[in-house]
Amino acid sequence: MKRQLIPSLLVTALLLLLQFRVEGQAVLPYVLASAGGSAVATSGAIVNYTLGEPFTATIGSNPQFTQGFQQPSTSGTPLPVQLLDFSGLAKEGYNLLQWQTAQEKNNDYFSLERSTDGIHFQAIGQVYSKATGGNSSSKLAYSYTDRTMPAGRNYYRLRQVDRDKQFSYSGVIDLTNAGMAYQSSVSPNPTKGRVFLSVNTLSDQSALTICDIYGRELKTMTLKATVTEIDLSSWTAGTYLLRYTAGPYKESVKIVKE
């Protein structure tokens, strides 16, 4: 009886070992990519990764449950826009933001975003690419003047947007400025459609009036936020006058719709 039992136990153990070996080798090919994203390496290369999803696969008659995982792969493709630097200077009554690009590919515009806490950002203006057709292999310099920042410490970042609407962010910088009582700015100018009116102080009398070149009023609105987006994409190309009022404070800015 012992002679028959020992071989049977050995065979059973061998089969179990073989089963575990097959299952361990067979899990990886069944990982399914269901999601993912990309990250930017310091060299400028884009690292793509996928995330597998949990699923059940059958190995022989034994159903196995497994979990996918990150699968990084480097494409080696340089960034569409290579940003050399992004910096700022606190001037008397305004913050000057400056940046440079080493190359641009399919670039549309830069959106300037501001925050008072470094967490919640809001677009305050746009600067279109200087590159012809959004493509350049030469160094290009840009700047933006923020005259509507609240007094104290403000945080800034760039949101670079491609012509296919893909985008990426720069690092965050911060500037401290005493600010002014009332200030307003309009960006971009000229514009292809959207315009951002930024003000540093709101009151129950803050309002905006859009006039034609002859001073005739075309549209009036009450301002509800420090940054107001105005869509002029359906307006006829030409020069318009934006009149901002806040109680006794009044300011007029000419803007060109391309």
pLDDT tens by residue, 14-55: 555 545 444 443 333 333 444 455 555 544 555 544 444 444
Residues 35 and 68 in one domain: yes
Q: Residue 225 phi/psi, 5° resolution?
A: -145, 165
Range with the poorest average pLDDT among 49-58, 111-120, 162-171, 184-193? 49-58
Q: Which residue has the higher pLDDT, 21 or 147?
A: 147
CA angle in degrees (0–180, nearest 5) for 202-123-138: 140
171: tokens are 């690092």
The pLDDT of residue 25 is: 37
Question: Do both 10 and 59 map to the same domain?
Answer: yes
pLDDT of residue 149: 87
Per-residue pLDDT band for 80 (boundaries 50, 70, 90) equals confident
What is the average pLDDT across 180-195? 82
Q: Same domain for 33 and 10?
A: yes
Where does a domain end: 180, 198, 213?
180
- pLDDT greater than 90 at residue 239: yes
The CB density around residue 70, as the number of other CB atoms within 10 Å, is: 10
Whether residue 111 sits in one domain with residue 55: no
Q: Are 77 and 46 in contact (CB under 8 A)?
A: yes
Per-residue pLDDT, averaged over 236-240, amounts to: 93
The residue segments making up the domain with residue 6 are: 2-78
- Average pLDDT, stretch 191-217? 86
Task: State the Cα–Cα distance between residues 142 and 86, nearest whole angstrom.
Answer: 10
Tell me, what CATH number does 190's domain have? 2.60.40.1930
Span between the terminal Cα atoms of the chain, in Å: 98
**pTM of the predicted model, to two decimals?**
0.53
Does pLDDT of 209 surpass 50? yes
Average pLDDT for residues 165-169, to the nearest whole number? Answer: 91
Last residue of a domain, one of 164, 180, 196: 180
Q: What percent of the chain clears pLDDT 70, i.e. is strictly above it?
A: 68
189 shares its domain with 257: yes
Average pLDDT, the chain: 76
224, β-bridge pairs: none
Who wins on pLDDT, 186 or 181?
186
pLDDT (mean) for 213-235: 89
Region 153-176 average pLDDT: 92
What's the token pair of residue 124? 């305050």
Choose the final residue of a domain: 132, 163, 180.
Answer: 180
C-alpha dihedral sign at 131, 45, 123, 184 = negative
Same domain assignment for residues 94 and 145? yes
Two structure tokens written together for 209: 């009036």
